[in-house]
């Protein structure tokens, strides 16, 4: 269930960033504008920004809970029901993922004064971008934004490291009934580590690029847009990684593709036979006449 939640949220995040909003960030400022379907639907840019941060956080929570679920199974067995403490932790993490950005959202500056302050802070900022539909200044001083993101990231990092270290310790000290079971458990955890590490890099690399641009107070539209595209590809990379490292998912996918291709070939073959039969009958009728 945790893996299904992770991939469902990842797929929706890709859809949200690449189709619904298609955000264009104007780093190093905390501003930008959308180009997606939401602009046509006249959804306020502030709402799009808020849910964008929330969905990214929800995907991060689902990654942490993936390891939490594996640790729980290793410790208590697969048939053990979730305790109240576990349920409370899951509810709090998802609730926090949709509320942690509230302080920044409640301190959005006046847009006219924000645009003027933006031009004063970054003299090389292209003034024509300010006239783009939906252009939005999230903050002139990004201190509150940084605090909110750092707070949520710290909570997820602490829990993620705790469960990862606990799983490693549990596997190294487990008294499995057989070496085969122990080996399969370690292979599964290694596969999960690879599955999570590769997609996380799709977040880490673009985030590092954006942090460097902000630190150097440099405006680079190409680097910023490439970073957004990398984040939007997170779900695709996550799915491909899952199919590569988990053999059951890979075999099931190949089996479905094989059945689809085989059925298509069989339909084409039957269609050719029908055409030959009809054509043959037509020729016989012509010869008889």
pLDDT of residue 67: 84
Residue 45 has pLDDT above 80, yes or no: yes
- 102-121 pLDDT per residue, tens: 998 998 988 888 888 888 87
Residue 273 has pLDDT above 80, yes or no: no
Radius of gyration in angstroms for the set of CA atoms belonging to the chain, rounded to a whole number: 26
At 277, the pLDDT band (50, 70, 90 cuts) reads: very low
At 1, the pLDDT band (50, 70, 90 cuts) reads: low
- Is cis: bond before 28, omega within 30 of 0? yes
Residue written as token pair 């269609």: 271
The full set of domain ranges for the chain reads 2-245
Question: Residues in the chain, how many?
Answer: 289
Q: Which residues pair with 172 in a beta bridge?
A: none
Cα distances (Å, whole numbers) of residue 197 to 55, 136, 241: 19, 33, 10
In this structure, which topology does domain 2-245 adopt according to CATH?
Answer: Rhopdopsin 7-helix transmembrane proteins (1.20.1070)
C-alpha 211/C-alpha 216 separation (Å) is 9
8 A C-beta contact, residue 117 and residue 111: no
8 A C-beta contact, residue 93 and residue 64: yes
Residue written as token pair 């006449």: 289
8 A C-beta contact, residue 27 and residue 220: yes
- φ/ψ of 25, rounded to 5, equals -90, 145
- 164-215 pLDDT per residue, tens: 888 878 777 766 556 776 677 677 777 777 767 776 777 778 877 877 877 7
- φ/ψ of 24, rounded to 5, equals -120, 110
């Amino acid at each position: 269930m945790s893996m299904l939640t992770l991939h469902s949220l990842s797929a929706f995040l890709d859809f949200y960033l690449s189709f619904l909003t298609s955000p264009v960030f104007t780093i190093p400022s905390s501003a930008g504008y959308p180009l997606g379907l939401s602009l046509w639907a006249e959804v306020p840019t502030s709402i799009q920004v808020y849910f964008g941060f929330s969905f990214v956080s929800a995907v991060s929570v689902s990654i942490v809970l993936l390891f939490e679920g594996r640790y729980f199974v290793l410790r208590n067995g697969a048939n053990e029901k979730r305790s109240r403490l576990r349920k409370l932790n899951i509810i709090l993490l998802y609730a926090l993922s949709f509320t942690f950005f509230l302080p920044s959202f409640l301190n959005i500056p006046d847009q006219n004064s924000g645009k003027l302050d933006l031009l004063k802070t970054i003299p090389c900022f292209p003034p024509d971008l300010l006239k783009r539909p939906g252009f939005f200044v999230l903050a002139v001083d990004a201190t509150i934004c940084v605090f909110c993101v750092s707070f949520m990231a710290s909570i997820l990092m602490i829990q993620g490291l705790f469960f990862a270290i606990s799983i490693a310790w549990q596997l190294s000290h487990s008294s499995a009934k057989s070496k085969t079971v122990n080996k399969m458990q370690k292979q599964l955890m290694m596969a999960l580590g690879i599955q999570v590490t590769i997609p996380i890099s799709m977040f880490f690399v673009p985030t590092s690029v954006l942090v460097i641009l902000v630190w150097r107070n440099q405006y680079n539209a190409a680097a910023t847009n490439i970073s957004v595209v990398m984040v939007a590809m997170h779900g695709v990379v996550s799915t491909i990684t899952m199919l590569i490292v988990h053999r059951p998912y890979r075999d099931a996918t190949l089996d479905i593709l094989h059945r689809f291709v085989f059925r298509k070939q069989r339909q084409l073959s039957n269609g050719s036979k029908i055409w030959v039969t009809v054509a043959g009958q037509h020729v016989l009728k012509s010869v008889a006449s």
